[in-house]
Structure 1
Amino acid sequence: MPDVRISSPQGKWILLTTVLGSSMAMLDSTVVNVALPRIGSDLHTNLAALQWTVNAYMLTLAGLILLGGSLGDHYGRRKIFVLGVVWFAAASLLCGLAPSSGVLIAARALQGVGGALLTPGSLALIQASFHPDDRGRAVGLWSGFGGIGAAVGPFLGGWLVDGPGWRWVFLINVPVALVCAPIAVRHVPESSDGRSHGRFDVLGAVLAALALGLVTYALIEARQGSLVVAVTAVAGVAAGVAFVQVERRSPDPMMPLDIFASRQFTSVNLVTLCVYAAFGGFFFLTALQLQVAVGWTPLGAGTALLPTTVLMLLFSARSGALADRIGPRIPLTVGPLLCAAGMLLMLRVGPGASYVRDVLPAVLVLGVGMVTLVAPLTATVLGSVDTARAGLASGINNAAARAAGLIAVAALPLLAGMGPEAYRSAAAFNDAFHQAMIICAGVLVVGSAVAFATVRSLPAGCRHPECRTHGSVTAPPLEGQRAAKLPATAERTPRGG
């Protein structure tokens, strides 16, 4: 039985290394957006390459994150976590030294693999290491510090791009990993799931990543209208169908399809797809708009978006408490509408825009909408399935959110009419950005309608500490793979110190 107390030196070391590890992956999901114009300028590349710079990371992370949690359960959570940290740092070094956009995109895909290994492991280590009486507080601290990291991310990214250069957005992960990995090896006890049988749904993971990758390629390259693009699109759909068939027949599927027998779970995931598609498109394009069209520095663009994560950090607990009293249906209906209003307010943002008059009102309304919906959404996902499957449900929801953002970054420039060189022209990018904001707002309205029509008004019960201090804008908080099965005397087998 895990017995580490949070007040002990070992407990503090465990918190430090898990926060450092998860923060690396979380920061790279946000800070890179701020660096994109400089990357494009320095590497002499077009908009499609900038889309792939974001999506290559999201592709492997979304496709492999469920598999990463399973590997940790079987082979040892500390071992897989440390492997993920080292892998992530090595890929970050390659990103920082990349001589061309092609190398950078490949390195970003490798970064996503490292993120898929360390992201589920960071929370699972806390769940497996701390005494049951301290576990909730430890998760809350982990989530809170991670939220602060997410809030600081765009500001830090802008400062690095304006200062030593965009390459340091990636290179900064190397010293963090050099601190994180040795602490984990020395101070974090090894643990695993004693009931893990060692059979992994590798084929399912490969098909999921292949489907997302092929569809993403087809959307990004669709402007060419070539036969290759059409064939790729069909192949992507075929890979998706094959993934469903494999999951249906596999004795140990990565994503058991029977979990969608819960109408509430299915409904909330549909809302998640709409909401995080809009968020993914918004944060990708807004970081570009504030620099390309408005003319701000990377630091100014990164700082401009800070209120959204600050609001989530300050008020997520109250939002969760409200949803616990009134049920999730109203928050999940009203929240997306507020976010849509925030995105429509971004139509005022263009050349010569004022932060206080034009940008801040939009960001504040968007932040209030995110506060209203994110904690209830997460709590409803966890409450819509049996307790024993809460970790699986959270993993699926997290992967769905990342996949939605991936598709949005690929599709929005196409739908908004952005040409390959649009980010080099303030006028052209501004017009397309406004079109994209209208599309994002429409997707959010669809998400609101889905929530109103299908989500039941049962108490959401946001009792999971990671729901209360959540600051990430890229995906819902990830519940530990086996977090719901407490106490853990039969579930986790500590091994060594």
Structure 2
Amino acid sequence: MRGQANPWAALGALCIGFFMILLDTTIVSIAIPAMVRGLNTDLNSVVWVMSVYLLTYAVPMLFTSRLGDRFGPKRVFLAGLVVFTAASLWCGLSGTAGMLISARAVQGLGAALMTPQTLAFITHLFPPTKRGPAMGLWGGVAGLATITGPLLGGVLVDGLGWEWIFFVNVPVGLAGIVLTLRWVPDWRPGRAHSFDVPGILLSGAGLCLLVFGLQNGQHYDWGKVAGPVNTFETIAAGVVLLAAFVVWQRFNRAEPLIPLAVFGDRNFSAGTLTSVTVGFTMTSMFLPMVIFLQEVLNLSPTKAALVTAPMSLLSGFVAPVVGRLSDKVNPKYLVVTGLVTLVAGLGLIALAAHATGSPWALLPGLLLCGLGIGTVFPPMSNATMSSVQQRLAGAASGIFNTARQVGGVLGSAATGVLLQARITASMAAEHGNAPLALTDAARETLLLPMAVLLLGVLAAVAIRRPTPRSPVSTPQTESAVA
């Protein structure tokens, strides 16, 4: 097959699906005011449109990474691409918030099927010594898609309506299906896994309860949710179930959902924890900025997105360059530099946000954010995955991607709660002056991702220069990288 002889063509086809997945983690943010009005709903419901996608994306990923090992990554990737494309059409056709939330949940499942297969294919298509540029492209796509979402979303919302942020996925998804069939080799690892059903149930239920409690606490005034159960008990139950999940993974003698042995690799542990903080930030930084730009400065979705466009362009330019560097220097220095730069950028944005100011006063901070994001993704991915044993690559890919998405889920939920709470408090403090109140709330909310990123810096310091493990040699691997 031609795809076997051209790993870059195969990676390009996979990146189309990966681009759509990450695009849909942020494209909704720019459409929030339009969706609130168009669906005649409230802010909490629209935040759920973001959170449910991230939740159904994150929860099944540990399981779907094993599906790739059993049935072949190409087949699972294609199945996910079909589900994602069909669910995108459903999202665009939704007429109520409840229907849209349901469609986004299915869309997240499609994304969960696709994502682990991309990293698994990189470890298959490229030998350890040549993975830096491949990770650079993968990281560039991740950074560019995550930040391009608001720009594309703004243009679509202004020109065609919020529904088109989902309709646009349909032709792209169909193109991705054709290219995947044409270019991606039908690699089958041939590893038959038993599925850890108790682990799937414990992790899924724990995350759902935790996120539901966090995000709806404000809605229920941190009181009763149903009957005698209150929000704090819901959150506590989620934490207990997640703790039980970890214990079960330790004592499961068959095949745990998370093989804890993979955390014996220092780089994998540090990189995964860093990934959580990056995922948290990538979803939590946009909500307060969108509210400030559209509701305080009265920018249209397109103009608000254009303000963030330089950040997107810089990130996409920097990531491939940094990916090549990550093979030559200790990735720790690149990751720490990127995280610190991102913290500084968010700090400048918070300082520059004024109710009567210019949106372009945010530009220096946005450029620093773009530089930081482009610098973080490739070395973080490379360092995390490069020294993982080949037999654990599928599970490691699932854990690594799940960690980032769990961070995103928590970031979306926590930021939505904090922003709504700060708006209420600021409205009282500013005696009903909405522009000043919303500005204060947005600036204060940006402190949350900054604090989380500092935890990421502490984790990234533990990263060492990877010592790649030799993959299992197969004729297919050799032909793929020829």
Please indicate the TM-score interval, normalised by the length of the shorter structure: 0.7 to 0.9
1:388 CA drift (Å)? 4.5
8 Å CA contact retained: 1:346, 1:362:
yes
Equivalent of 1:86 in 78, 82, 89? 82
When residues 138 and 379 of structure 1 are mapped into structure 2, their CA distance, relative to the original with a 3 A threshold, is: closer
98, 110, 127: which one aligns with 1:102? 98
Whether 1:401 and 2:404 are equivalent positions in the alignment is: yes
Conserved in 1, the CA contact under 8 Å of 2:25 and 2:146?
A: no
| TM superposition shift of 1:398 | 2.1
Residue 211 of structure 1 corresponds to: 206
Distance in 1 (CA, whole Å) between partners of 2:182 and 2:338 is 44
Structure 1 residue matching 2:256: 3-state secondary structure: coil
Partner Cα distance (2:398, 2:437) in 1:
39
Report if aligned partners of 2:207, 2:238 keep a CA contact under 8 Å in 1: yes
Match of 2:215 in 1: 220
Aligned-residue offset at 1:84: 1.0
Structure 1 distance, partners of 2:48, 2:208, is 10
**Are positions 1:5 and 2:5 aligned together?**
yes
Q: 1:18-47: CA deviations, max 9, x gaps?
A: 333222212111211111111111112222
CA distance in 2, matches of 1:297, 1:459: 46
Gaps of 5+ in 2: 226-230, 428-432
Question: Do residues 459 (structure 1) and 465 (structure 2) align?
Answer: yes
AA matched with 1:239: L
Q: Choose which of 39, 64, 78 in structure 2 pairs with 1:43.
A: 39
1:488 maps to amino acid? T
* The 10-residue stretch of structure 1 (87-96 or 205-214) with the greater mean CA deviation from structure 2: 205-214
Deviates more, 1:483-492 or 1:285-294: 483-492
Is the 1:294–1:349 Cα contact (8 Å) retained in structure 2?
A: no
- Stretch deviating more after TM superposition (113-122 or 95-104): 113-122
TM-score when normalising by structure 1: 0.82
Helix, strand or coil at the partner of 1:29: helix
- Distance verdict in 2 for CA 1:355–1:487, change over 3 Å: farther
CA distance in 2, matches of 1:66, 1:280: 21
On the 8 A contact 2:279/2:405 being kept in 1, the answer is yes
Query: Match of 1:345?
Result: 348
Q: For structure 1, which segment, 318-327 or 30-39, has the greater mean C-alpha deviation from structure 2 after superposition? A: 318-327
Find the residue that maps to 2:297 and give its secondary structure. Answer: coil
Contact 2:156 2:162 in 1 (8 A): yes
Q: Cα deviation per residue 1:296-339 (whole Å; 9 max; x = unaligned)?
A: 11112222223333323322344456565653444444433322
Q: What is the SS of the residue equivalent to 1:252?
A: coil
Change (3 A) 1:277 1:379: same
Q: Once superposed, what is the RMSD of the aligned Cα atoms? A: 3.6
| Map 1:68-217 → 2, pairs under 5 A | 68-122=64-118, 124=120, 149-150=145-146, 152-185=148-181, 188-194=184-190, 196-217=191-212
Show the counterpart of 2:228: none
Distance 1:406 1:143, change over 3 A: closer
2:448 aligned with 1:448, yes or no? Answer: no
* 1:300/1:391 CA distance change after superposition, 3 Å: farther
- Structure 1 residues 349 and 118: alpha-carbon distance in aligned structure 2, compared to 1, 3 A threshold: same
- 1:144 Cα deviation (Å)? 5.5
Instruction: Write the distance in 1 (CA, Å) between the matches of 2:457 and 2:134.
Output: 34
Contact 1:92 1:107 in 2 (8 A): yes
The equivalent residue for 2:19 is: 23
Partner of 1:380: 383
Change (3 A) 1:325 1:301: same
Could you state the TM-score of these two structures normalised by the residue count of structure 2?
A: 0.84
Describe the SS at the equivalent of 2:111. helix
Distance between the aligned counterparts of 2:425 and 2:91, measured in 1?
23
Cα distance change of structure 1 residues 333 and 136 upon mapping to structure 2, 3 Å threshold: closer
Q: Per the alignment, in what secondary structure is the counterpart of residue 446 of structure 2?
A: helix
Conservation of the 8 A alpha-carbon contact between 2:140 and 2:317: no
Give CA-to-partner distance per residue, 1:400-450, whole Å, 9 cap, x none: 111112112111233352458999954433221111112322222333244
Work out whether residues 91 and 104 of structure 2, in 8 Å CA contact, stay in contact via their aligned partners in 1. yes
| Offset at residue 343 of structure 1 (A) | 1.1
Q: Is the 8 A contact 2:290 2:304 kept in 1?
A: yes
Whether the 8 Å contact between 2:146 and 2:282 is mirrored in structure 1 is no
For 1:196-345, what aligned pairs fall within 5 Å after superposition?
A: 196-223=191-218, 224-228=221-225, 229-250=231-252, 251-320=254-323, 327-345=330-348
Structure 2 letter corresponding to 1:205: I
Q: How far apart, CA to CA, are the structure 2 residues paired with 1:60 and 1:432?
A: 29
SS at match of 1:193: coil
Task: Tell me which residue corresponds to 1:57.
Answer: 53
Q: Is the 8 A contact 1:27 1:149 kept in 2?
A: yes
User: How far apart in 2 are the matches of 1:137 and 1:38?
Assistant: 39
Would the alpha carbon gap of residues 334 and 190 (structure 1) be closer, same or farther in structure 2, given more than 3 Å must change? Answer: closer
CA distance 1:44–1:429, shift in 2 (3 Å): farther
Identify if the C-alpha distance between structure 1 residues 362 and 370 changes in structure 2 by more than 3 Å, giving closer, same or farther.
same
Tell me if the contact between 2:4 and 2:479 (Cα under 8 Å) persists in the aligned partners.
no
Deviating more after overlay: 322-331 vs 134-143: 134-143
Q: How far apart are 1:96 and its partner, in Å?
A: 0.9
Count residues in correspondence.
465
Candidates 424, 435, 454, aligned match of 2:444 = 435
* Structure 1 unaligned blocks of 5 or more: 464-482
Change (3 A) 1:258 1:148: closer
Flag the 1:281–1:132 CA change in 2: closer, same or farther, 3 A. Answer: closer
Q: Give the whole-Å Cα distance in 2 for the aligned partners of 1:284 and 1:178.
A: 30
Check conservation: 1:285, 1:433, Cα contact below 8 A.
yes
1:173/1:268 Cα in 2 relative to 1: closer, same or farther (>3 Å)? closer
In the other structure, the counterpart of 1:475 is none
Residue 354 of structure 1 corresponds to which residue in structure 2? 358
Q: Flag the 1:350–1:209 CA change in 2: closer, same or farther, 3 A.
A: farther
Does the 8 Å CA contact 1:43/1:100 hold for their aligned counterparts? yes
Deviation, 1:2, is 8.5
Q: Secondary structure at the match of 1:306?
A: helix
Distance 2:151 2:317 in 1: 18
Q: In 2 relative to 1, CA 254–295 (structure 1 residues): closer, same or farther, beyond 3 Å? A: same
| Paired amino acid for 1:103 | M
| 1:341 to partner: Cα distance | 1.6
Is the contact between residue 162 and residue 298 of structure 1 (CA under 8 Å) also seen in structure 2?
yes
Which has the larger displacement, 137-146 or 292-301?
Answer: 137-146
